[in-house]
Structure 1
């Protein structure tokens, strides 16, 4: 079984991620996490700030 969680950096996103982790602890389960970016807030789909990659890594490791 495979689970997909759409994550946003909000309390609701943290709840969704926590639920996905719990479900994916089942034997043989896999978890994919996608970060959802609102394109309306940015001129491009991915931020150009060099610290963004670090933020993603720290969030994923947390």
Structure 2
């Protein structure tokens, strides 16, 4: 058997980045199944730490000085 993934994105995304997402999701799912099987899937931390920082902090740096 094989695992396949098809992604449609507006901007190019590297295969390494997609693999990082997949690895994080699978690790979180395995951990939840072992230690907290009743945890809702929506509560899993699916973003790698660096990606979370990039999306929530780096891209949101909109502070600007105004006269």
Per the normalisation by structure 1, the TM-score is 0.35
**Structure with the higher fraction of residues in helix conformation:** 2
Larger Rg belongs to: 2
**Structure with the higher fraction of residues in strand conformation:** 1
Per the normalisation by structure 2, the TM-score is 0.33
